[in-house]
Structure 1
Amino acid sequence: MIDLCNFLKIISDKNRLKIICLLGNESLCVCKIFKSLNLSQKLTSHHLGQLKKAGILERKKRGSFAYYNLNKKILKEKSKLLNQLTR
């Protein structure tokens, strides 16, 4: 249950939730993410780091760029836990 609480705490930030929505169907580099959110690169990197630390995002380097995508396995696990609460 603590794991679920931490997950909910991480995604409760509106900018982190926006990042999750942006990455729903594609991988994006930090430069595209922060431009889409209208945030500084530093703040965007902070949010990406928190989401990655929680296992929600995966990061891959392509040349000098870092690309992020959703860890759908983790999101499905958390979704199952939330569904169990309603039974």
Structure 2
Amino acid sequence: MLIKEHVYVGRPTTLRGIAESGATVTNGGRLTCQGEIRDMLKIEPGGFAIVSGVVSGDIVNDGRLEVRGVVKGTISGEGIQRLRPGSMVNGIRN
């Protein structure tokens, strides 16, 4: 499924399709990305995201982030992050 508008996540949500315009995880939200986010992923304070699929843009993490898949861009922000073995960020395998 292709979602053309920006996705806002404020509750437990699994993305299996493509979010073309990026996504924001708000306070209390939990995103499991098994598909692809083609733009930026923003995680606000109190938000949590697990990336098992692909984020084609950058991630701004001010919440909690676990990467199991691929982030083609960079990760910035003040949040907590965990990069699982075998994940890839900005072309570098962990």
**Structure with a larger share of its residues in strand:** 2
- With a CA cutoff of 8 Å and minimum separation of 6, indicate the structure with the bigger relative contact order: 1
TM-score by length of 2: 0.24
**Structure with a larger share of its residues in helix:** 1
Max radius of gyration: which structure?
Answer: 1
TM-score by length of 1: 0.25
